[in-house]
Amino acid sequence: MKKTIALLLLFMCICNASTTFAQSCCANSTDMKLLALRTDFKSSHPAPLPFAYSAEKGAMMYFTTPDGKEGHALYVPAADPTDKVLLIFHEWWGLNDYIKREAEIWQKKLGNVNVYAVDLYDGKVAATPDEASQLMGNLDAKRAESIIEGLLKKIGSGKQIATLGWCMGGSWSFTASILSGSSNVGCVMYYGFPEKDNSKIKKLKADVLYIWGSQDQYITKPLVDELGKKIEHTGHTFTLHAYNAPHAFANPSNPKYDSKSAEEAGKYTLAFLKEKLGL
C-alpha cells in the first residue's frame, strides 16, 4: 500500500512539473505553434466581424509549388506592366475576405505595383478562435515555405519585392523577405513573432519596418528590441513604431480595432513601401 501511494505521489509530482514547464515554455516563447495553443492568446482574438469581400480587380491565381502541390494567392494587378511586387501575408484566420480587401486597398494606395495575398492554409479559413488555433498550430513550415517559393518562381526574376504581414503573417513577411533574397527591397511586420534564428536573420537583404502595440502581452518590447539589434548587425535598418494599443490593433475585423493607431501606422507603412519600391 505504501509503495502504491509513493508511486502515485511521484506520478503527481512529475505531472505537475511537466505542466509547469509547459506553461512556462509557452508563456515565454514566441513560437507560433506554442502560442496557438494558449487559451489567453485565443481569447485575445475575438471572431472576425461579418464582412463580405467584393472583388474589384483581384482574382485567385494558382501555381505549382516545389513540393509538387498547388499554391493559391489573390492577385491584384497594376494597371500597367511593372517589376514592382508586394506580397501580403494573412493573420492566423487565413486568407479571408478582410485580407483580400487589404490586398485591393494596398494596390490602390501604391499604384504601379502587383499585389499578391498569399494563402498559407491551402484554402482553409477560420471563423472562430478555436479553428484559427488549429490552423496556425498545424501549419507545416516547410509547406508554407514551399508555397512562397512557388509563388516567387511564378512571379519570375528581375522584380523588386516588398513584403507585408500581420501577426502570424508578420512572421511570414520576414521569412518571405529572406526567401526572396536580393530581390527583396523591404519588409513590414505588424506585431509579428520575432525571428530568433541567427542563421536566418543573417540572410536578410533589406530594411525592416516593425509596427507594435505596447499593450501586447505576447510580443514584448525586449523581444522586439532583440530582433532589431540582430537586424542592424546585418547592416540593414530596423525601424520600430509603437502605439498604446493591444495585439492585432490594426485588424479591422477585430472588435478591438484601434482605427486611430491603425491609420497612423498605415501612413508609415505606405511611406516605407513607396520609398523601398521607388514609387
- Residue 252 half-sphere exposure toward CB, CA atoms < 13 A: 13
By CB atoms closer than 10 A (0-12, 13-18, 19+), residue 228 is middle
**pLDDT tens digits, residue range 129-182?**
999 999 999 999 999 999 999 999 999 999 999 999 999 999 999 999 999 999
Top-confidence residue, 53 or 15: 53
pLDDT > 90 fraction of the chain, expressed in percent and rounded: 77
Q: pLDDT band at 207, cuts 50/70/90?
A: very high
**CA-based angle 170:236:154, to the nearest 5?**
55
Could you tell me the residue ranges of all domains in the chain? 1-30, 32-277
**pLDDT tens digits, residue range 73-84?**
999 999 999 999
Grid coordinates belonging to 8: 502515485
pTM score of the predicted model = 0.88
Q: pLDDT band at 225, cuts 50/70/90?
A: very high
Task: Give mean pLDDT, residues 204-224.
Answer: 95
Residue range 32-277 forms a domain whose CATH class is: alpha beta
